[in-house]
Every structure is written in C-alpha cells, then in structure tokens.
C-alpha cells in the first residue's frame, strides 16, 4: 500500500494517470481521472469537541472508448492492483454499450486555461487546536448573539484540499489543486411557544478569511427573526428572493441550459435559441474562471479549459453549455462545461459558476419600493418540487411579510409556486448585492411578480 497522497502533489496524480493512459491499444481512446482529497472536520457542542474526523481518500476513474462504445470503471483506492483491475473492467464494460457516433474523448481546443490561485498551503498547515478554537468560538458567538438563542444543532469547522488530474490519449493533460475551509452553524432560537432555526457560514480558500462573528450573526438573525411566524393567506403576490434562494433557483435554470438536456429533448428551452426567454433585466453568465466563485476551476472535468459563457443576454437566450460529446452531437464546440462526481462517474454537462448581472439597488431599496410582498428567506423541497423538464416549480418557503416598504411579520409553512419559464419573465428587478455562495452559483436579491403563495 503506497503512502497517502499529498493532495498538493499533482505530479504524482499525473504520473498514475499517465501510466494508465500509456496502456491504451492502437484502437482505444483512454482517459484516466485521478483524485486525492484530504480533509478535516471538527464539530463542537456545548463547549466541547463532539467529533473530530480526518479524511484521506483517493481514487481513479477510467473511461475507455473503442469502436464508438464507451465503458467506465472506478475504484476508491490507488493501489496498483486495483488500478489495473479498473482498466480491465472498463474495457470489459464497453463491449456491452451501444455504438454512438458522437462518443469520444475531448480534444484540446487551444484555449489557454485561466491562471487561478485556488490552492493555499495554510489549510494543510493549520494546527488542529486552531481549528477546534474556531469551532468553539463559532458556537459561543452564535449563542451569545441574541438572548433568544436557545441552542445549536451543529457548529463545525471543516476543510479540504483536493487535487485532480485528467490525462487522455487525445492529448489532454490537466491537473489542479484547490483548498477550501469553512465554518457553518445551524442555530435554534426560542420564545414561549416555538422554536425557530437559522444558519450561518463563513468560507474561503484559507483560514485567514474565516470570520466566526459573521456566521454567528447570520445564524442568530435568521433564527430570531422567524420567532412568532404565522402562515400567510393564499393568493398571488410579489416576492423578493434572498440571494441564498436566488442562487438555488439559478442552479436549476442552469441545468435546463445543458446541451445534453437540449439534445435529448429534456429542456423546455431547446427551441428558443435567439429568443427572449427572460425579462430584459436578466443577463446570466456561467464563468468558472472567476476566482471569486467557490466553484471556480481552470479546467473542466474532461481537462478542457473553462471559459466565460454568456448564456442569457438582456433576456435573450444566446447559447447552451456543452461537453465534448454533447458539442459533437450539436455540431458546435465544447464550452468547457463537462462536470462529474469526482472519479466515480462519466462526465455530464453542467453550469459551474452562474451569476446574474447585478442591478443598482440594495435589498433594502428593493423592499422599500414594495407595498405588499414577501421576502423569501429560505426554501425547502427543491428536489421534490422542481421539475427541470416541465419547468414546474413548487417549494416550501419561509420569510418575512413586506408591508409598506418595510419588513414586517415573519411567515412560515407556505409554498410558492410558478414555472421556471414564468419566473424568468416575471423578474422585475435584480439587486446589487451579488455574493458567491457555497454552490455553483452566486446569489443576488431578485424581485419576482405574480407568484402563487399557498398558505392559510
């Protein structure tokens, strides 16, 4: 058994991938993806460390294409015997796949990868005691932030260093290393009758940017402002989506602009290229080369340089995103939008770092302009209530009544429903409060008119 891989040692990952790819026969295309991940998680509760976990994992995924057939296999180890077995298994698997004229690995397209500084050595160098101290301070600060705070469900510090290499017989040879660390807390607030919950986080690529007080203040504010919440009456109303909610909606919209979904007849926007599909306020860009995005990356999951893709320009649909296979099928070029689940899957197609072009008003100014609306602070049930094929959207929600331009009573246990197609056209304003969130999209406050609220 080899020593654990230092995730900063991308050369070692490239060497392992090179060795596999070097075994390709003259008729085969072979791609090897090697990933190593090292992480730590500290959970605290009631002033003590509840658990401290260290993680050190590595694995390889091998894709083989021969005669238009594709096979894949993976293993959660870089043990040489297992790597050997993965290649053999991928070869065996392809014998049973269909011939696909569009199957094939990505080929270098000459686009130079962005120079991104995603790895900071401070994460790996941080002493455990400092991680524990940060987590304890997070819990303390959250409970101290407001006298109505009654407890926490969890408070943690966590970090990870991930390195990946992709090498293929078609000339792809890419590697990357990135670090991340974060504080997150789920909080409880109570009054005589009820308990409400909130959350807060602080994250970055190195511990220097972590601020427990920011996470604590958010967690306390989110929980306490919900105390005394009532159910709204049923009807149509204008919503202000909090950036946290907007980012989640954008991720679904992004999935509908996947070239694979379009080609396979699963996107309601398939035939709308060049048409207006959204309010003129909407300019949507997917740009993984933006270093501010926590999901930034210089190369996509096939090793192709990522790039800025302008998807919607002032409401007009300009393009779909593609990996090598979907692009070949659509007769266009890859947009560097191959995505995959580490080493355990074949590349799919997806947006990676979505952001709306921000407007000029703060959330307070947007709220100030509305007589009667609801600020949606959080949503639930996105996986069960949003269908990216039909576009139907219906999710549970909580938030605050907006009355006469000011936030009023808290509201809970209601749903908001529309279709994603309608939401895009019903956007009345985009805020100026763009913030990158721990997902593949940035959030920004959004005013959407005429959404059905179902409650009392």
Partner 1 sequence: MSQSNTSPGADLTEVVHASVVNDTLREALSTGGEFAEVFVEDKASSSAYLDDGRVEELTSGRDRGAGIRVVVGETTGFAHTADLTPEGLATAARAAAAAARSGGGGVRTVAMPDTPYRSLRPVRIDPSGVDKADKVALLRHADEVARSRSGSITQVSAGYADSRRRILVANSDGNFATDEVVRTMFNVSCVASGDTGMQTGRESIGHTIGFELFDRYDVAELAERAAERALTKLAARPAPSGQLPVVIGSGGGGVLFHEACGHGLEADLVAKGASVFAGRTGELVASPLVTLVDDGTMAGEWGNFGIDDEGNPAQRNVLIEDGVLTDYMWDVLRARKEGRRRSGNGRRQSYQHLPMVRMTNTYLLAGDGDPNDIISSTPHGVYVAHLGGGQVNTATGDFVFGMSEAYLIEDGQITEPLREGNLIGNGPEVLARIDAVANDFAMGPPGTCGKDGQGVPVGDGVPTLRVEALTIGGTAA
Nearest CB to partner 1, comparing residues 55 and 144: 55
Q: Which is nearer to partner 1, 114 or 376 (CB)?
A: 376
Q: Any idea what the Cα angle at residue 289 is, between residues 283 and 292, rounded to 5°?
A: 80
Residue 156 Cβ vs partner 1, minimum distance, rounded to whole Å: 10
Both structure tokens of 213: 């007080």
CB of 213 to partner 1, least distance (A): 23
Least distance CB 288 / partner 1 (angstroms): 23
Q: Which is nearer to partner 1, 121 or 390 (CB)?
A: 390
Nearer to partner 1, 234 or 362 (CB): 234
Type and span of the H or E element at 261: helix 259-263
DSSP code string of 339-374: E-STTSS--EE--SSEEEPP-SB-HHHHHHT-SEEE
Which parts of 51-146 fold into alpha helices (H)? 80-94, 122-125, 128-144
Q: Which is nearer to partner 1, 375 or 434 (CB)?
A: 375
CB of 123 to partner 1, least distance (A): 17
Contact in structure between 126 and 106 (CB atoms under 8 Å) = no
CA–CA separation, 36 and 161 (whole Å): 8
Least separation in angstroms between CB 174 and partner 1: 22
Cβ at position 93, least distance to partner 1 in Å:
4
- Residues 165, 169, 170, 171: what is their CA dihedral angle, to the nearest 10 degrees? 60
Nearer to partner 1, 149 or 367 (CB): 149
253 in Cβ contact with 421 (< 8 Å) = no
Nearer CB in complex with partner 1: 366/424? 424
Question: Which segments within 348-456 are labelled E, that is strand?
Answer: 348-349, 354-356, 372-380, 392-403, 406-419, 427-430, 435-436, 442-443, 446-454
Per-residue DSSP letters for 325-341?
HHHHHHTS---S-EE-S
Nearer to partner 1, 223 or 356 (CB): 223
**Closest listed residue to residue 251, CA positions, set 441, 444, 31, 447:** 441
User: Which is closer to partner 1, CB of 152 or CB of 298?
Assistant: 152
CB of 223 to partner 1, least distance (A): 9
CA angle 26, 31, 34 (to 5 degrees): 140
Q: How far is the CB of 95 from partner 1 (least distance, A)?
A: 8
Which residues are CB-neighbours of 14 under 8 A, at least 6 positions away? Answer: 34, 165, 167, 173, 175
25 vs 384 by CB, closer to partner 1: 384
Rounded to a whole number of angstroms, the minimum distance from the CB of residue 51 to partner 1 is 4
Q: What is the dihedral of CA 239, 244, 248, 253, to 10 degrees?
A: 60
Question: Tokens 């799919």 belong to which residue?
Answer: 348
Q: Which of 214, 205, 213, 198 lies closest to 182 in space, CA to CA? A: 205
Please say which residue, 161 or 434, places its beta carbon nearer to partner 1: 161
* Helix (H) and strand (E) counts in the chain: 11, 20
How are strands ordered across the β-sheet holding 284-286?
A: 316-317, 309-313, 284-286, 354-356
CB of 362: closest distance to partner 1 in angstroms? Answer: 29
Residue 412 beta carbon to partner 1: minimum distance, rounded to whole angstroms:
6
Which residue, 338 or 434, has its beta carbon nearer to partner 1? 338
Q: In angstroms, what is the minimal distance from the CB of 300 to partner 1?
A: 19
* CA dihedral over 245, 247, 249, 252, signed as positive or negative: negative
d(CA 319, CA 267): 13
């Amino acid at each position: 058994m080899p020593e654990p891989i230092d995730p900063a040692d991308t050369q070692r990952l490239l060497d392992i991938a090179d060795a596999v790819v070097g075994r390709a026969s003259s008729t085969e295309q072979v791609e090897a993806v090697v990933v190593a991940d090292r992480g730590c998680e500290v959970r605290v509760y009631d002033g003590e460390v509840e658990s401290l976990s260290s993680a050190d994992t590595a694995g390889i995924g091998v894709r083989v294409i021969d005669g238009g057939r594709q096979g894949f296999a993976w293993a959660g180890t870089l043990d040489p015997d297992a790597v050997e077995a993965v290649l053999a298994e991928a070869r065996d698997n392809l014998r049973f796949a269909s011939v696909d004229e569009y199957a094939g690995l990505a080929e270098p397209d000459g686009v130079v990868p962005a120079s991104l500084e995603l790895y900071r050595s401070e994460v790996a160098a941080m002493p455990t005691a400092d991680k524990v101290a940060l987590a304890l301070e997070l819990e303390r600060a959250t409970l101290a932030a407001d006298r109505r705070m009654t407890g926490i469900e969890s408070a943690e510090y966590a970090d990870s260093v991930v390195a990946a290499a992709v090498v293929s017989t078609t000339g792809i040879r890419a590697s990357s290393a990135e670090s991340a660390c974060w504080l997150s807390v789920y909080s409880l607030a109570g009054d005589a009758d009820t308990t409400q919950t909130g959350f807060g986080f602080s994250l970055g690529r190195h511990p220097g940017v972590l601020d427990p007080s920011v996470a604590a203040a958010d967690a306390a504010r989110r929980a306490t402002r919900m105390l005394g919440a009532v159910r709204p009456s049923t009807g149509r109303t204008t919503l202000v989506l909090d950036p946290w909610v907007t980012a989640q909606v954008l991720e679904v919209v992004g999935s509908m602009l996947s070239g694979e979904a379009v080609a396979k007849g699963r996107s309601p926007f398939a035939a709308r290229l060049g048409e207006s599909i959204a309010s003129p306020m909407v300019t949507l860009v997917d740009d993984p080369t933006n270093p501010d995005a926590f999901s930034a990356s210089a190369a996509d999951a096939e090793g192709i340089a990522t790039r800025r893709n302008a998807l919607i320009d002032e409401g007009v649909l300009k393009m779909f995103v593609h990996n090598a296979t979907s692009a070949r099928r659509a007769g266009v070029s890859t947009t560097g939008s191959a995505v995959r689940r580490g080493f355990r899957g074949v590349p799919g197609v997806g947006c990676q770092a979505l952001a709306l072009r921000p407007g000029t008003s703060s959330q307070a100014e947007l709220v100030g302009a509305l007589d009667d609306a609801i600020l949606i602070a959080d949503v639930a049930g996105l996986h069960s209530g949003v269908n990216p094929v039909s576009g139907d959207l219906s999710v549970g929600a909580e938030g605050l009544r907006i009355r006469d331009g000011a936030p009023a009573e808290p509201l809970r246990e209601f749903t908001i429903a529309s279709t994603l197609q309608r939401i895009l056209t019903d956007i009345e304003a985009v805020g100026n409060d763009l913030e990158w969130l721990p997902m593949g999209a940035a959030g920004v406050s959004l005013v959407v008119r005429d959404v059905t609220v179902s409650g009392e």
